[in-house]
Structure 1
Amino acid sequence: MICGDPFQLFVRIASRHALQARSLKTDVRRLVMLIRTRAPVRIDFAGGWSDVALFTEHSKGLVVNGAINRYAYATLRCERQITQDDSVELQRILDKSIRIYSADFDTFIEADDVRQLEYDGNIDLVKAAVRRMSIQIGGFDLITQSTAPPGSGLGTSASMGVALVGALGALKEATYLPYEYAELASTIERHELGILGGKQDHYASALGGIHFMEFQDEEVKTSPLRCPPHIRYELEKNLVLCYTGQSRLSGSIHQNVTDAYKSEEPSVRNALEALKTTAEATKTALMRGRLTEFGELLTENWNNQKKLHPSVTNDQIDRLFKIAMTNGATGGKACGAGGGGCLLFYCEPTREHRVRQKLEDAGARIIDVNFDFDGLQMWKVSND
């Protein structure tokens, strides 16, 4: 049972261990290591939904997306006691317990063993990553935080998963390739937690950049779209990303669409094929710098996305979409599964400021967009 402010409790526990460490004998020194990771979220331009595992078992999925400068962060702190004995350094774990603090949900959890981390709907993704990645690891403190709103449709859970496997992998001194981090994070969501969804979010976060992605069964092929710099600058200037203020539960929307797909509803299957066609066209438009067409393809994608299930849109989304389109947007769509979260619009040059203002006046929150080409990043800070 935890009483009071979870963060202050976390700080008190960490301070207690620091005092204990300072009381060690002079021939014993304490090594405190901080491992930090960050992983970007993404905006999806076209083809989303076609990457979901249920669909890729029967047909190739095609997606165009781009990683942006909103991040999931994981900070992992561990202490080691190093004893000097006849010129041989003996290193042991100073503390065996695991302490997790989620800044986004203001939640603190402490456990003596990873097996005590039970899935109960309370930061289960973090628990799953720790259980999956750190069975043989000793104690540590883990803090997670995201600079993107939860339930935004930007792939925040996937980026957090990538950041977590990066930090926990670094603690184990394991080295993975970017696609392996993506696969590990995807596996944790799909197999450890049974979360429906595709892999595009994990790959976008691990790799960074703007990509055309292909999905067939478990195989993933990623092709970076190396747009000229002036095209990227135009995209960053004219794209308007807004948060509706309404967090959406993608799991329920995914369930609605997969149920319809399993029922072999022709409208759903036709919409998925149309989404893939739009992804191909979007890739071509970006590579050739046809940004007016790119904006129109966002709307084409959105119209097909809405055919998947009525829960993909709602009155608030429709209202904000109308406001943007009547004030200078040439096209737009909901990010991710839809049903809330973020909306993305491409605007006429010099009119994006008006679209931003009108959306803010309507209660939406504007999120500045710059592309991230670094993907997952990790670094260590040691303090002897």
Structure 2
Amino acid sequence: MSMVVCRAPFRVSFFGGGSDYPEWYRDEPGAVLSTTIDKYIYITCRYLPPFLGTKHRVVWRYVEQVDSIGEILHPAVREGLRYLNFDDSLGIELHYQGDLPSRVGMGSSSTFVVALLKALTGLRGLKADQQKIAEMAIELEQVRMKETVGSQDQVAAAFGGLNVINFHQNGRFDVNPLGLSAERERELSSNLMLFFPGRSRFSSDQALSVTQNLPNRVAEIRRMVAMVREGEAILRHGDLMDFGRMLHETWQLKRCLSDRVSSPEIDNLYDRARRAGAVGGKLLGAGGTGFVLLYVPRECQAAVIDALTPQCVNVPFALEREGVRTVHQSNNVILPNDG
């Protein structure tokens, strides 16, 4: 296989965030309720022909043309290539594309790593199922790159769908799909709205603040974990308005985890949305800024859009079930030994 194109979906986390950090689940079980959506990161990679004047080419926010893997600036690409034992004997070309901005609370860094590992294992001709890709992504970020990140984003992007993900003290996880009907999923997604206020941040900065404060917020995290089961029960056979109210409760709890979780701008935005008819919502990701998820009855959605415009952009979305996948592969790329 000489060229691979892979995609992995962004995720929306509802309940249990914070309990997916190893700093928590090494001591107490963690759980999250999340879904992936129809917005994706795409990674295209191939072996770079040897006569193009550079050994490796990586295209993201920058265009990197370097002579060794060690010179690659993008940390996930550099360490991902090392992790899978690529070397400089064959050149690599890799392109990144995304449907949403990076560093906005949608799990983009881990989604990138999941798509990257799927593409690189495919390029090497290695077999790696969703479980393996998720495990590799967690190891790459937390161990090899030493990033302060949780474990839910890698699992969500790898498996896809609306799931309860449990994290165990031995470091393992299991994924339990809710298996809702398509009609029930549409009912849920039709009352959810995403808004982007147009700023980004490095999530590891906020995550470090949260993880350092976890020993002081045990009661809050335990409540957030309990809400995973309550939220699952509502999605299966309850009133979805109660799901919206729980989102409001979990946001109040999440704001207690660190003074860096929210900001005056986000608090003002959220208050305006609530006055316009939003039942509840939360800032996605580690905090600071990023996408805001709101539960809004359909009859109130136009008013909420008016209340948040022009400060925010509304991003329509639907739920997705596939997770990471290869969308294209070909064998027609010239390699050094093609003569």
Normalised TM-score (structure 1): 0.82
| Alignment partners' CA distance in 1, 2:321 and 2:51 | 38
Structure 1 residue 128 corresponds to structure 2 residue 97: no
How do residues 324-363 of structure 1 correspond to structure 2 at under 5 angstroms?
324-361=273-310, 363=311
Identity percentage over the alignment?
A: 27
| Alignment partners' CA distance in 2, 1:289 and 1:381 | 47
| Alignment partners' CA distance in 1, 2:8 and 2:198 | 23
Structure 2 unaligned residues grouped into runs of 5+: 334-339
| Alignment partners' CA distance in 1, 2:290 and 2:265 | 11
| Alignment partners' CA distance in 2, 1:79 and 1:72 | 22
Tell me the equivalent position of 2:139: 187
> Is the contact between residue 2 and residue 123 of structure 2 (CA under 8 Å) also seen in structure 1?
no
User: 1:217-264, CA deviations, whole angstroms, 9 ceiling, x for partnerless residues?
Assistant: 311011001112222111221111011212132212221122223xx4
| Alignment partners' CA distance in 1, 2:238 and 2:122 | 40
| Alignment partners' CA distance in 2, 1:251 and 1:237 | 31
Q: How far did residue 68 of structure 1 move? A: 0.6
Q: 1:100 is matched with which residue: 46, 58, 76?
A: 58
Tell me the equivalent position of 1:366: 314
| Alignment partners' CA distance in 2, 1:138 and 1:94 | 12
CA change 1:150–1:79 in 2 (3 A) is: closer
> Is the contact between residue 36 and residue 160 of structure 2 (CA under 8 Å) also seen in structure 1?
yes
Q: 1:61 is matched with which residue: 16, 30, 52?
A: 30
Letter of the structure 2 residue corresponding to residue 99 of structure 1: R
> Is the contact between residue 278 and residue 300 of structure 1 (CA under 8 Å) also seen in structure 2?
no
Q: 1:198 is matched with which residue: 144, 150, 154?
A: 150
| Alignment partners' CA distance in 1, 2:304 and 2:275 | 9
- The number of aligned residues is 329
> Is the contact between residue 62 and residue 276 of structure 1 (CA under 8 Å) also seen in structure 2?
yes
> Is the contact between residue 48 and residue 93 of structure 2 (CA under 8 Å) also seen in structure 1?
no
> Is the contact between residue 66 and residue 210 of structure 1 (CA under 8 Å) also seen in structure 2?
yes
**Larger radius of gyration between Structure 1 and Structure 2:** 1
Letter of the structure 1 residue corresponding to residue 178 of structure 2: L
| Alignment partners' CA distance in 2, 1:356 and 1:375 | 30
Tell me the equivalent position of 2:68: 113
> Is the contact between residue 212 and residue 222 of structure 1 (CA under 8 Å) also seen in structure 2?
yes
Structure 1 residue 230 corresponds to structure 2 residue 183: yes
Q: Secondary structure at the match of 1:141?
A: strand
Tell me the equivalent position of 1:220: 173
Tell me the equivalent position of 2:127: 175
| Alignment partners' CA distance in 1, 2:229 and 2:288 | 25
> Is the contact between residue 283 and residue 292 of structure 2 (CA under 8 Å) also seen in structure 1?
yes
Tell me the equivalent position of 2:203: 250
Q: How far did residue 94 of structure 1 move? A: 7.1
CA change 1:37–1:246 in 2 (3 A) is: same
> Is the contact between residue 70 and residue 78 of structure 2 (CA under 8 Å) also seen in structure 1?
no
| Alignment partners' CA distance in 2, 1:111 and 1:339 | 34
Q: Secondary structure at the match of 1:296?
A: helix
> Could you tell which deviates more after superposition, 134-143 or 146-155?
134-143
Structure 1 unaligned residues grouped into runs of 5+: 1-31, 81-92
> Is the contact between residue 48 and residue 55 of structure 2 (CA under 8 Å) also seen in structure 1?
no
Q: How far did residue 162 of structure 1 move? A: 0.5
| Alignment partners' CA distance in 2, 1:358 and 1:76 | 43
> Is the contact between residue 40 and residue 99 of structure 2 (CA under 8 Å) also seen in structure 1?
yes
> Could you tell which deviates more after superposition, 225-234 or 203-212?
225-234
Tell me the equivalent position of 1:298: 247
> Is the contact between residue 231 and residue 289 of structure 1 (CA under 8 Å) also seen in structure 2?
no
User: 1:97-125, CA deviations, whole angstroms, 9 ceiling, x for partnerless residues?
Assistant: 221111xx2x12223332344xxxx4212
Q: Secondary structure at the match of 1:321?
A: helix
| Alignment partners' CA distance in 2, 1:135 and 1:249 | 28
> Is the contact between residue 130 and residue 324 of structure 2 (CA under 8 Å) also seen in structure 1?
yes
| Alignment partners' CA distance in 2, 1:294 and 1:309 | 24
Tell me the equivalent position of 2:337: none
Q: 1:240 is matched with which residue: 174, 188, 193?
A: 193
| Alignment partners' CA distance in 2, 1:110 and 1:181 | 27
> Is the contact between residue 134 and residue 168 of structure 1 (CA under 8 Å) also seen in structure 2?
no
Moved over 4 A (4+): 93-96
> Is the contact between residue 21 and residue 211 of structure 2 (CA under 8 Å) also seen in structure 1?
no
| Alignment partners' CA distance in 2, 1:134 and 1:70 | 30
| Alignment partners' CA distance in 2, 1:357 and 1:178 | 41
Higher relative contact order (CA 8 A, sep 6+): 2
User: 1:44-85, CA deviations, whole angstroms, 9 ceiling, x for partnerless residues?
Assistant: 0111111101000100001000001111111112257xxxxx
| Alignment partners' CA distance in 2, 1:131 and 1:101 | 18
Tell me the equivalent position of 1:25: none
Letter of the structure 1 residue corresponding to residue 67 of structure 2: D
Q: Secondary structure at the match of 1:351?
A: helix
